[in-house]
Each structure stands twice: as structure tokens, then as C-alpha cells.
């Protein structure tokens, strides 16, 4: 019997360690900022979410949208003549001079790297003639081209206006869309840049402390800071390793320190705990009396210990992690066929559930083996 007890204790220890290690890795993050979201830049999977649909003031994170809008609607070699309005814009500047002629790309660099509000106004006036017309056009662009749903911008730089708002989720969409443009990606990841203007010669340094390396975090590829009194501190950051590319947005932090600590937690959580898996073309999924398939290979983001997958009645494959749907993929319906034998429908088992089932199976087999051994001994004694 002592051998029997030892086997059972060993099996339960194995089962306990499997379950607890998964739970420990999925503890909620202590994010202090009002809103935050962590998104897989390539698949769009939402890996962490805190109030990501809450409408908040973005401050200078607005300039991410201004940059990609101007890159897609202007020519980076265009030469822009600086207006009196641009020169007078308040806040952080690159000290442009009225009548100065500056290439559009250089203005975008000054806007993203040094957060130049004057450069942002010059860009808006060059692309659309006025800041007011720019606001109308960029909002239409963001809705139709990027797919935002809770964003309205009144200016190109993020200076406070009660009608100038967005959400963490929309900003992640905008950043991911912008990252597809190589010129944006280059500027967004620039740490320093020599600057020569009519009134100012210097070296521009990114304000983003993670990108600059002042706060050492592995894998940081780009970033933008923001602050006005009403928005408090905001931060956009991109990072990657060999497996993933991530976008982290943090809004309304009481202190700059909070937004950086929150971002560090998000990036490390994402890079450590998630990976990609490819669903092959024509792979079949069954739900009730229907079969669904994918037209092409699809990349999904899953937890390293496996994420749950299920198909809805409308043929949407949902990837679920820690109780939240992190990615949804519309499948194609296939005409039902008569299949011999029984087919398990509905829920797809995760690797975690499969491993638990195996362990339970081992326990059952152990019990059965011990029972048969005891029975044989009793028969022999008789």
C-alpha cells in the first residue's frame, strides 16, 4: 500500500505544478494608468486591455496619425513654406521661422522625434491648406482607411480641445497601420537626428526614455510621448523579439514614471507569454452541423501554454486567453458532408486541457493496475 500512496502523491504533485504554473503566468498586471492596451502588431490580437475603449485625450500621440496621414497624402520630397500660424504655435517646437522652406520629411522628423507642434501645423497646412480642413480630412481618413471608431481630432499636434479625443485601442490601430509604412517606421524608431534650421542647429533626441535606452528594456523599436495638463501623461511604444511584434498604448498616467513602468510591464508580459501559430489553408473546424475552413494560411497569437479556441454559430474562430477573446477570425462555410462515425463538435481543446486530461488518464490507469494486482494476489491466496 505504501507504494500505491507514493504513486498517487507523485501524480497529484505533477498535476498541481502544471495548473499552478499556468495560473501564475496569467495574473493580472498592476497597471496604474487610466487606460492601456497591448496589441500584436501583426495579427491585431489584443493581449491586454484596460479601459481601452474609454475616450481620452491623447496629447502628442496625435502626431502618429498626422505622420502617417501626411506620408500617404503628400510627397516626402515636397518643400513646405512655413506660415505665421505655424511659427506661433505654442508648446514644444523645432523653432521654425516664418517663410523658411523645409522638406516635408524633415518636418515629420521634427514632429515625431522632438514633438514639434509648429512642424505639425506646417504639415497640416501643406497637405490640406488649413488646420480646420486637415481636421475634417484626417478624421475621414482614420475612419475609412484605418478603421477607428472612437476618435475625433481637431488639430494635428494634440494640444487640448475638449472635442479632440481617442481611445487606447484606436491609437493601437493607428500605430499598427502606420508601422506598415517604412518611412514612418524609420522615423518612429529614430533616437537622435542632426537638425539644421534657419534659427536652430542642434541634435534632436527622442523624448521616449525606453527608446533612448535610459530605461533599459529589450526589444524596443519605436515610441512617442505625450503630455498636456488635461490628458496627463501618454505613451506609445513598439517592441519585438524573434517571435512577436507588439504595440503598447498607455493613456492618462498621473506621473511619467507610471506610464513607463506600465509600458515595461506590458512589453515584458507580451514578449514572454505569447507566440504565433499558423492555421493552414483549408484546415477544417466543426460546429454543430456545419464545417468551416480557412481560404489561406492564417497566423494567430496564442499563449505559450495554449489558448482556447472555439467557433461561433456565425463561423467566427475565437482565440480566448484568460477568459477574454484576443483574436477573432471569420472562417468560410463549407457545404455539410455526411461523415461516417461520430465527430466531436464545438469546443477545441487547448494544450493545457489536453495535458490535464492525459494526467487524469494516467491516474485512472494507475488505479486500474493496482486493482488488478491486488485482485490477482487474492485469487492466488484462495
Residues carrying an active site annotation: 60, 63, 115
Choose among 113, 46, 47, 124: nearest CA to 82: 124
Q: Kindly tell me the sign of the dihedral angle through the C-alpha atoms of 238, 239, 244, 249.
A: negative
φ, ψ dihedrals at 247, nearest 5°: -125, 125
Cβ atoms < 10 Å from Cβ of 18: 15
Quick one: cell of 296? 489561406
The C-alpha atoms of residue 76 and residue 27 are separated, in whole angstroms, by 46
- CA-CA-CA-CA dihedral for 36, 262, 66, 246, to nearest 10: -80
Choose among 137, 75, 83: nearest CA to 106: 75
The DSSP code sequence of 70-121 is HHHHS-TT-EEEPPHHHHH--SS-----TT-EEEHHHHHHHHHHS--HHHHH
Q: Are 33 and 252 in contact (CB under 8 A)?
A: yes
Amino acid at each position: 500500500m505504501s507504494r500505491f500512496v507514493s504513486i498517487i502523491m507523485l501524480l497529484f504533485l505533477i498535476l498541481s505544478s502544471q495548473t499552478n504554473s499556468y495560473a501564475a503566468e496569467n495574473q493580472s498586471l498592476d497597471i496604474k494608468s487610466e487606460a492601456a492596451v497591448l496589441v500584436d502588431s501583426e495579427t491585431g490580437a489584443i493581449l491586454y486591455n484596460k479601459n481601452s475603449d474609454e475616450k481620452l485625450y491623447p496629447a502628442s500621440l496625435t502626431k502618429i496619425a498626422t505622420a502617417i496621414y501626411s506620408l500617404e497624402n503628400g510627397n516626402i520630397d515636397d518643400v513646405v513654406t512655413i506660415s505665421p500660424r505655424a511659427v506661433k504655435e505654442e508648446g514644444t517646437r523645432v523653432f521654425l521661422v516664418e517663410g523658411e522652406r523645409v522638406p516635408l520629411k524633415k518636418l515629420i522628423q521634427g514632429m515625431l522625434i522632438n514633438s514639434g507642434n509648429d512642424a505639425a501645423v506646417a504639415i497640416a497646412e501643406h497637405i490640406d491648406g488649413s488646420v480646420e480642413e486637415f481636421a475634417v480630412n484626417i478624421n475621414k481618413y482614420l475612419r475609412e482607411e484605418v478603421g477607428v471608431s472612437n476618435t475625433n481630432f481637431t488639430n494635428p499636434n494634440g494640444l487640448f480641445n475638449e472635442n479632440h479625443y481617442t481611445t487606447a485601442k484606436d491609437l493601437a490601430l493607428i500605430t499598427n497601420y502606420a508601422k506598415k509604412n517604412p518611412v514612418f517606421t524609420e522615423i518612429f524608431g529614430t533616437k537622435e537626428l542632426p537638425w539644421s534650421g534657419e534659427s536652430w542647429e542642434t541634435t534632436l533626441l527622442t523624448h521616449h526614455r525606453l527608446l533612448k535606452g535610459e530605461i533599459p528594456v529589450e526589444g524596443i523599436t519605436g515610441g512617442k510621448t505625450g503630455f498636456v495638463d488635461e490628458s496627463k501623461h501618454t505613451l506609445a511604444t513598439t517592441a519585438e523579439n524573434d517571435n512577436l511584434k507588439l504595440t503598447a498604448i498607455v493613456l492618462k498616467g498621473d506621473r511619467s514614471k507610471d506610464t513607463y513602468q506600465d509600458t515595461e510591464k506590458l512589453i515584458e508580459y507580451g514578449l514572454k507569454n505569447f507566440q504565433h501559430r499558423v492555421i493552414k489553408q483549408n484546415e477544417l473546424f466543426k460546429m454543430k452541423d456545419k464545417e468551416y475552413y480557412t481560404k489561406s494560411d492564417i497566423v494567430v497569437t496564442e499563449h505559450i501554454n495554449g489558448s482556447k479556441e472555439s467557433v461561433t454559430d456565425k463561423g467566427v474562430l475565437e482565440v480566448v486567453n484568460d477568459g477574454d477573446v484576443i483574436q477573432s477570425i471569420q472562417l468560410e462555410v463549407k457545404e455539410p458532408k455526411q461523415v461516417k462515425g461520430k465527430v466531436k463538435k464545438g469546443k477545441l481543446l487547448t494544450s493545457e486541457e489536453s495535458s490535464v486530461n492525459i494526467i487524469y488518464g494516467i491516474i485512472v490507469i494507475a488505479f486500474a493496475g493496482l486493482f488488478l494486482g491486488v485482485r490477482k494476489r487474492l485469487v492466488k491466496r484462495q
